[in-house]
Structure 1
Amino acid sequence: MRQWEAIYDKWKNSEHLDDQLKQELDAMRDQPDLLEDAFYTDLAFGTGGMRGVLGPGTNRMNRHTIRKAVHALGRYLKKHYVNVHDRGVAVSYDSRHMSREFAVETAKVLGAHGMKAYVFDTLHPTPLLSFAVRYLGAAAGVMITASHNPPEYNGFKVYNDDGGQITPDEAAAITDEMASIDDELTVPYLEQSELEAQERLIWVGRDIDHAYLKYLEAMSQLDSAEQKRAKDLQIVFTPLHGTAHHLVLSGLQRLHFHQVDVVEEQVEPDPAFSTVDSPNPEEHQAFTMAMQRGKQTQADILIATDPDADRLGAAVKDANGDYTVLTGNQLGALLLDYILKHTDRQLLANARMIKTIVTSELGRRIAESYGVRTIDTLTGFKYIGEKIRQFETTGETFLFGYEESFGYLISDVVRDKDAVQAAIATCEMAYYWKKQGKTLDKALQSLYDAHGYYIEDMVSWKLTGKEGMETISDIMQAARTETMADIGGMPVQTVEDYWAGERITPGKEQTEPIKLPKDNVVKFLLAGDCWVCLRPSGTEPKLKCYVGVCGNHEAESRKRLTDLTAAMNEFLNRVSS
């Protein structure tokens, strides 16, 4: 008998197995390939938590794998935090299948550890979970979400007491605790009714929403008189069947944005996300219904949030009057410029803008023009949150943080990307520029005129299985060892190897250290503020190639982008063949 078959038999015959899962296992009994995939390994607990397909098995998201993860978290908290039983853990969830049930399971296992669980009484965005951890003084937070993954997925994200995603060291410690749990089917837990009676399961919501919305008002760059005026801006908003509807509308209403047309077909939480191919505002198809509504109402701006409301997409009118979806880099640059334009110059000397190493260099140039220093982090918003925490001891001031994948943070009362904040700020920014006689598209063109025409792209190669992982390893090794004088005709000026922690200048013997954590990333800095970067995905069997260019005008930049992308495709095909 193979190992996975033994684990399958243990589940099938266990008296502790959830009844629904038992029925699903019974339906799978004649599908050995499906059973093997469900049991051949344990669902991995990565740097932020775990994410996977729903269903029975150790390699699936279900009540038992959730209980195991929470049991490990409880053990970890008791070892590393003081007063953890009273401080408790904040728990939230999105609109996906089983999200509320998994939130309650989290509370039931924490209760067996003697810990309070503050659980939102309705589905709420991920940034509200981050805010709640800090607002309640909790020892940790748990968010049940799979972000914008397909409907068959769900996930379990862990936040530390600062409201940021757990660090790699914290994740490793929780992973060690999980490895010491022999049987996920016998994890101790208490019943919901018992916990409610003992006030160890505490339902929260309205007070936290109110406090958060007060911070949103304070975040506005408008003066108090302007905030109170009705705004002449026609907005179309879609929450894409997720969690953002109430808070985005409430935030806009507080600033007197009353002309908000919601895509009604996409308002109701729907775990199947039935009106879109993917509930991801990075993909233009997610805006199909919003664009149709926008044309009917002559909307100035369209905004869309992903299911757990940590990513925001925006579409604006171009020179032809058609809607175009801004990239994450473009919207981030516009927001940064808007914030800087409205910040007292005396406060900027100690202010910091934070972006990831694969985010556009346009942001750096905008910040420089205001005398603001830019700090780079590795890919992942948890690193931006970690840097904000460091500012509490260095005396630096957080101004704005963003990444190319539609994640933005304006106020550090949240320590993760926040689409609710970004939605309010984007509409306010669009209103400001409309009063100046500009669309956001024209405002973006002004930034290009002032700083250079920056555009970016990302291409990913899906390489599955053992052979795929070996190919990714070969490509990364070649990127580190092959000498490339130029890429696509652009001279290589510096090579940054984040695994070795070294910045190498071709032709020079000495290297410069990179003061960031180790990561399997290689970045080539080219002439003219152009660059390419190779990075294996942390969540999928993919190799990602990021390309960024700058030119004096659009045609020049488009050609450079095409040449660099073609050169990297040629390199990848050669190495992988």
Structure 2
Amino acid sequence: MAQIKFGTDGWRAVIAEDYTFDNVRKVAQATCEYFKKEGYAKDGLVIGYDTRFNSEHFAAATAEVFAANGVKVYLSNNFAPTPVFSYSIIEKKAGGGVVITASHNPATDNGFKVKPHYGGSASPEIVTAIEGYLDTPIQRMKFQDAVKAGLVEYFDATEGYIEQLGRMVDIEGIRKSNLKILVDSMYGAGQGYFPRILSGGTATVTNMHNERNPIFPGMHNPEPIARNLTEHMELMKTGKYDIGISNDGDADRVGLVDEKGEFVDQLRVYALLALYMLEVRGERGMIVRSLSTTSMLDQLGKLYNVPVFETPVGFKHIGPKMMAENALMGGEESGGFGFRGHIPERDGIICGLFLADMLVKTGKTVSGLIDWLFEKVGPHYYNRIDFTFEQEKRGEIMQRIRDNTPKDLAGSKLVNTRFDDGFKYYSEDGSWLLIRFSGTEPIMRAYTETTSPEKVEAILAQGKAITGV
């Protein structure tokens, strides 16, 4: 059995292999120990879950452990997006919470995300502390006994969250807009939210994959990227819709497809959301970005005189920086973005609403918004490739990368490097290449953003060659 280790956002593992009830209870006990020792458990803990196989039962197992430790549990009465539960922690003034979800991982997996009292991802310090408690003896109370004792209380997380969205975005304006929106829930926890939020006006929402199916048929994994959205893109090509919005398995990420059926990569989406905040809404504040996302933000920062701060990958780094600086927004390459006044956490539902509002407020099409963005920052092209590796060769591969720093990227001279979270190379024409090991899967990724489509493939080929995999 593999060692339990938290990754970029929580612990994830293969169901029935390492993700077992025994191990979930083990992680639950360690998490409970952290919340007790830090004094947060006295305020109660929220537990939520997604649409994956047995998620509600793993959530109940977690509740059994918390209750046995004398901790009040607010247990969701249904699956819901991770950001809904993150907001519930703040709304209830709870000490923190747990979401049973593997996010965008393949159907074979499930996971355990810890959310502290501030409703964001657990910081590296919190994760380290929880891992230190993994050998704590497990306490367990029968679920029905915990309910009868009042230690487990069911609740509906959705109402308060939807009220919060109404404070963050002009819902009524979108409802009255005549927009035709195609939403792909990817069989995940975000299903039903857009029609519920936008009903009652002239806007129409058409749903795809809007039922629970834990095997996520027809897609490699429930991640809103082009390879998983072929059906979505084909429907958009019919011309019947103005915007295509998709969410991953726990709806904390967003995908965007334009009115022509073209996928809009997440780097462009982040730049669009920044443009929306800075130009359309006139807001100001620091923009926080992971090192795997777009340099277009730096150019927008200069244009609108706002600082841009680069962090390692993961909201466990982005969220704390957002809170410390009261940042306007924070985000990463995966399509997860958070906003001031909401939660220091990714939220794919609010992102979709912001993008729809941007269409309404500007009167532009999605492709027109991209043109407008490029008028300000110039054209940018991005792609990422994922490839597996043999875990026992990880050290050998890392040493090979260290020994093979390139002198240029597709002919443009290297001007800077950063090796604190993967291996990132910056060239003088503004291109960059990042090689990084996944924090949740045995996968390596090479990412690049550059000035022409031709350079994208050339730089990615360079990246793969450096690894020798």
Global fold match (TM > 0.5): yes
Match of 2:22 in 1: 64
Aligned counterpart for 1:298 among listed residues 223, 226, 240: 240
**Residue 203 (str. 1) matches residue 159 (str. 2):** no
Match of 2:161 in 1: 212
Aligned counterpart for 1:234 among listed residues 162, 180, 196: 180
Equivalent-residue separation in structure 1 for 2:166 and 2:348 (angstroms) = 15
Q: Aligned partner of 2:290: which letter?
A: T
Match of 1:324 in 2: 262
Equivalent-residue separation in structure 2 for 1:409 and 1:327 (angstroms) = 17
**Residue 52 (str. 1) matches residue 3 (str. 2):** no
Q: CA deviation at 1:229?
A: 6.4
Q: Give the root-mean-square deviation of aligned CA atoms.
A: 2.2
Q: Aligned pair in 2 of structure 1 residues 487, 229: CA closer, same or farther (>3 Å)?
A: closer
Match of 2:131 in 1: 175
Q: More helix per residue: 1 or 2?
A: 1
Q: Aligned pair in 2 of structure 1 residues 268, 571: CA closer, same or farther (>3 Å)?
A: closer
* Greater relative contact order (CA < 8 Å, ≥ 6 in sequence): 2
Aligned counterpart for 2:446 among listed residues 529, 538, 545: 545
1:239-254 mapped onto 2 (5 Å cutoff):
239-253=185-199
Q: Aligned partner of 2:390: which letter?
A: T
Q: Is the 8 A contact 1:278 1:286 kept in 2?
A: no
Q: Aligned pair in 2 of structure 1 residues 460, 243: CA closer, same or farther (>3 Å)?
A: closer
Aligned counterpart for 2:279 among listed residues 337, 341, 349: 341
Aligned counterpart for 1:73 among listed residues 24, 31, 41: 31
Q: Aligned pair in 2 of structure 1 residues 229, 172: CA closer, same or farther (>3 Å)?
A: closer
Q: Aligned partner of 2:196: which letter?
A: S
Q: CA deviation at 1:446?
A: 2.3
Aligned counterpart for 2:386 among listed residues 455, 460, 465: 460
Deviation track 1:472-513 (CA, whole Å, cap 9, x = no partner) reads: 22233315xx5x443331111122232xxxxxxxxxxxxxxx
Equivalent-residue separation in structure 2 for 1:338 and 1:46 (angstroms) = 32
Equivalent-residue separation in structure 2 for 1:475 and 1:286 (angstroms) = 35
Match of 2:203 in 1: 258
Equivalent-residue separation in structure 1 for 2:85 and 2:210 (angstroms) = 21
**Residue 572 (str. 1) matches residue 464 (str. 2):** no
Q: Aligned partner of 2:361: which letter?
A: Y
Q: Aligned partner of 2:141: which letter?
A: L
Unaligned runs of at least 5 residues, structure 2: none
Deviation track 1:175-228 (CA, whole Å, cap 9, x = no partner) reads: 1110344xxxxx3211222222221101111xx422221221222268xxx728
Equivalent-residue separation in structure 1 for 2:58 and 2:255 (angstroms) = 28
Match of 1:285 in 2: 228
Q: Is the 8 A contact 1:409 1:418 kept in 2?
A: yes
Q: Is the 8 A contact 1:410 1:421 kept in 2?
A: no
Q: Is the 8 A contact 2:174 2:356 kept in 1?
A: no
Deviation track 1:505-524 (CA, whole Å, cap 9, x = no partner) reads: xxxxxxxxxxxxxx4x2222
Match of 1:12 in 2: none
Equivalent-residue separation in structure 1 for 2:301 and 2:275 (angstroms) = 8
Q: Is the 8 A contact 1:279 1:286 kept in 2?
A: no
Aligned counterpart for 1:192 among listed residues 143, 158, 161: 143
**Residue 90 (str. 1) matches residue 43 (str. 2):** no
Equivalent-residue separation in structure 1 for 2:328 and 2:236 (angstroms) = 32
Q: CA deviation at 1:378?
A: 0.9
Equivalent-residue separation in structure 2 for 1:382 and 1:412 (angstroms) = 18
**Residue 400 (str. 1) matches residue 345 (str. 2):** no
Equivalent-residue separation in structure 1 for 2:389 and 2:202 (angstroms) = 46
Match of 2:90 in 1: 134
1:13-162 mapped onto 2 (5 Å cutoff):
39=1, 41-46=2-7, 48-55=9-16, 60-81=18-39, 84-85=41-42, 87-162=43-118
Unaligned runs of at least 5 residues, structure 1: 1-38, 182-186, 392-396, 499-518, 551-556
1:435-450 mapped onto 2 (5 Å cutoff):
435=363, 438-450=364-376
Q: Aligned pair in 2 of structure 1 residues 410, 77: CA closer, same or farther (>3 Å)?
A: closer
Equivalent-residue separation in structure 2 for 1:292 and 1:566 (angstroms) = 29
Q: Aligned partner of 2:467: which letter?
A: L
Equivalent-residue separation in structure 2 for 1:163 and 1:96 (angstroms) = 22
Deviation track 1:36-85 (CA, whole Å, cap 9, x = no partner) reads: xxx3x333344543111111xxx511211111111111222221225x23
Match of 1:431 in 2: 360
Q: Any idea what SS the aligned residue of 2:63 has?
A: helix
Match of 1:503 in 2: none
**Residue 532 (str. 1) matches residue 457 (str. 2):** no
Q: Aligned pair in 2 of structure 1 residues 76, 448: CA closer, same or farther (>3 Å)?
A: same
Equivalent-residue separation in structure 1 for 2:9 and 2:304 (angstroms) = 34
Q: CA deviation at 1:370?
A: 1.4
Q: Is the 8 A contact 1:219 1:411 kept in 2?
A: no
- After TM superposition, the score normalised by the length of structure 2 is 0.94
Equivalent-residue separation in structure 2 for 1:450 and 1:389 (angstroms) = 29
Q: CA deviation at 1:421?
A: 0.5
Q: Is the 8 A contact 1:496 1:524 kept in 2?
A: yes
Q: Aligned partner of 1:422: which letter?
A: C
Q: Any idea what SS the aligned residue of 1:453 has?
A: coil
Aligned counterpart for 2:212 among listed residues 255, 264, 269: 269
Equivalent-residue separation in structure 2 for 1:295 and 1:487 (angstroms) = 35
Equivalent-residue separation in structure 2 for 1:198 and 1:453 (angstroms) = 61
Q: Any idea what SS the aligned residue of 1:52 has?
A: strand
Q: Aligned pair in 2 of structure 1 residues 309, 478: CA closer, same or farther (>3 Å)?
A: same
Q: CA deviation at 1:233?
A: 1.0
Q: Aligned pair in 2 of structure 1 residues 299, 327: CA closer, same or farther (>3 Å)?
A: same
Deviation track 1:272-326 (CA, whole Å, cap 9, x = no partner) reads: 22343432211333340x3454455711111111121111111112xxxx31111
Deviation track 1:210-262 (CA, whole Å, cap 9, x = no partner) reads: 2221221222268xxx72862121111121111112322222237x4631112
Q: Aligned pair in 2 of structure 1 residues 228, 45: CA closer, same or farther (>3 Å)?
A: closer
Equivalent-residue separation in structure 2 for 1:447 and 1:147 (angstroms) = 30
Aligned counterpart for 1:561 among listed residues 453, 456, 459: 456
Q: CA deviation at 1:381?
A: 1.9
Q: Is the 8 A contact 2:236 2:257 kept in 1?
A: no
Q: Aligned pair in 2 of structure 1 residues 486, 92: CA closer, same or farther (>3 Å)?
A: same
Match of 1:309 in 2: 251
